[in-house]
């Protein structure tokens, strides 16, 4: 495999790992698979594209505003829609199916407004390419490779050592015990979901700057992230990073040796492995109070 494929795998794996961390934070707080996160991945890119279209020159402010919109959208959906569905049906399947409906609706709206073609960003930052050792790097790839591991380490340290991090871990491990000790479950859950959505939207923004964006881009990225999280164990961020690199490396190898159309098979194989073997073991550990970042 050429150095360029290794660079591509490292960049894709780093973005997948960051997205998996965001998914894990949301899942730890909500305890269901939120399909609408696939839309949160692409919303910042479309908000930024709209800002560029109307002539907004402050790219950084537009990006921050776009990430904020996606984060608030996730928290609002979780607090207003999914919470009421959970209280009514007492099942994780009901909000998961509802989130799939939200994802489908939002994707349709994005397709109606922006179309299904790839939207790229005519900005100097996203189009700059560097050549190092014969390999080509975009700014988004360099940020992913260098900064994502540090960001994941920061999140892990906050969850491990800070008071709010310990409360989030306790809530994920045993909600009844957290309530009994006086924890404001709604407040802590909103903080965890907001933090997770912030991480998800940032990873989606970097991916869109590198690849361009379509309404359905987020679903494939989310599946890769879920596969990495399940393979490592939800909430185990160091393992998640290396699991994401492994999946991205396998996808690159499959694309080179077999064909690009088979690369998604790697994701589904890892998903099946995670659901059948690793996820049940993690669930037992969580119930025993052993889950830790």
Q: Which domain CATH number covers 86?
A: 1.10.3470
Instruction: State the Cα–Cα distance between residues 204 and 23, nearest whole angstrom.
Output: 12
pTM score: 0.85
pLDDT for 119 equals 80
Query: Residue 292: inside a domain, yes or no?
Result: no
Query: Residue 99: inside a domain, yes or no?
Result: yes
89: containing domain: 3-113+128-287
**Closest among 51, 36, 19 to 119, alpha carbons compared:** 51
Query: Residue 119: inside a domain, yes or no?
Result: no
Compute and round to an integer the Cα radius of gyration of the chain: 19
Query: Residue 123: inside a domain, yes or no?
Result: no
pLDDT digit string (tens) for the chain, length 293 residues: 577 788 888 989 999 999 999 999 999 888 888 899 998 888 888 877 777 666 655 666 777 787 888 888 889 888 888 888 888 887 778 888 999 999 999 999 989 888 888 887 655 656 667 777 777 778 778 888 888 999 999 999 998 889 888 888 888 887 777 778 888 888 888 899 999 999 998 888 888 877 788 888 889 899 889 888 888 888 889 889 998 998 888 888 888 887 777 777 777 777 777 667 655 555 554 444 434 44
Tally the domains of the chain. Answer: 1
pLDDT for 59 equals 60
Instruction: State the Cα–Cα distance between residues 215 and 201, nearest whole angstrom.
Output: 14
């Amino acid at each position: 495999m050429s150095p360029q494929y290794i660079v591509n795998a490292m960049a894709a794996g780093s973005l997948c790992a960051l997205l998996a961390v965001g998914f894990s934070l949301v899942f730890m707080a909500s305890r269901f698979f939120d399909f609408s996160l696939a839309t949160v991945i692409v919303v910042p890119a479309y908000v930024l594209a709209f800002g560029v279209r109307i002539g907004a020159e402050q790219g950084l402010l537009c990006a921050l505003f776009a990430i904020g919109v996606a984060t608030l959208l996730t928290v609002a959906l979780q607090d207003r829609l999914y919470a009421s569905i959970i209280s009514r049906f007492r099942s994780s399947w009901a909000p998961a199916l509802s989130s799939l409906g939200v994802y489908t609706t939002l994707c349709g709206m994005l397709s109606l407004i922006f179309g299904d073609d790839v939207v790229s960003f005519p900005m100097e930052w996203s189009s700059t390419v560097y050549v190092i050792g014969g390999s080509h790097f975009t700014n988004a790839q360099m940020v992913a490779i260098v900064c994502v591991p540090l960001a994941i380490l920061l999140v892990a340290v906050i969850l491990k050592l800070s008071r709010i991090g310990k409360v989030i871990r306790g809530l994920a491990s045993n909600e009844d015990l957290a309530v009994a000790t006086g924890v404001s479950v709604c407040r802590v859950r909103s903080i965890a979901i907001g933090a997770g959505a912030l991480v998800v939207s940032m990873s989606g923004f970097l991916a869109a700057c590198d690849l361009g964006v379509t309404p359905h881009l987020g679903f494939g990225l989310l599946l890769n992230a879920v596969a990495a999280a399940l393979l490592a164990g939800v909430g185990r961020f160091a393992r998640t990073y290396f699991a994401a690199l492994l999946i991205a490396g396998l996808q690159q190898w499959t694309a080179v040796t077999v064909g690009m159309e088979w690369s998604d098979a790697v994701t589904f194989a890892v998903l099946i492995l995670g659901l059948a073997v690793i996820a049940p073991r993690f669930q037992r550990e969580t119930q025993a109070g052993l889950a830790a970042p």
